[in-house]
Amino acid sequence: MATSSSWTINMTARSNALCSCGASICIRTSWTEANPGRHFLCCSDKCGLLRWLEPPVSCPRCERVVRALLRSSKHKDELVRLKALEAAENGVEARRLRYVLGFSWFLFVLYVLMSWCIVFLMLTWLCKVLFNVMQPLLHVL
């Protein structure tokens, strides 16, 4: 625990340092297969300065665990990317379905209006026929 906190203090003290090119030095973590989880110093202007802050992992089991975690993390990143792609595709599909639904409602309303128009025309025609049939009867009375 004490080494961990003293190491953190040393890291923050080093982070204020400047590179030989005059840029600030950054502390980063490597997530490559060769050096997973290792911290290193690098130039913020990327002039090529690189110095490891920790020795390489010498415990084979620790190395296997860190590499397995790294692969798992990459797998999860791939799953997140695939889910985002699927969500985008679902968004396009949902938009298409909204258009189809809107168009089908338009057709339904058009059908109802046309039905009402046909009913109105039929009633108008029926009234004319009845009026023509009833007119001679009214003159008789």
Q: Which residues contact 19 (CB under 8 A, 6 or more apart)?
A: 25, 43, 44, 45, 47, 49
Q: In what order do the strands lie in the sheet with 39-43?
A: 25-29, 39-43, 50-52
Q: For 9-35, what is the mean pLDDT?
A: 69
Instruction: Using pLDDT thresholds of 50, 70 and 90, give the confidence band for residue 49.
Output: low
User: 66-107, pLDDT tens digit by residue?
Assistant: 777 777 777 777 778 878 888 888 888 888 889 999 999 999
**Amino acid, res. 31:** W
Q: What is the pTM for the complete model shown?
A: 0.38
Q: Which of 1-5, 22-26, 53-57, 89-93 has the lowest mean pLDDT?
A: 1-5
Q: For 34-53, what is the mean pLDDT?
A: 77
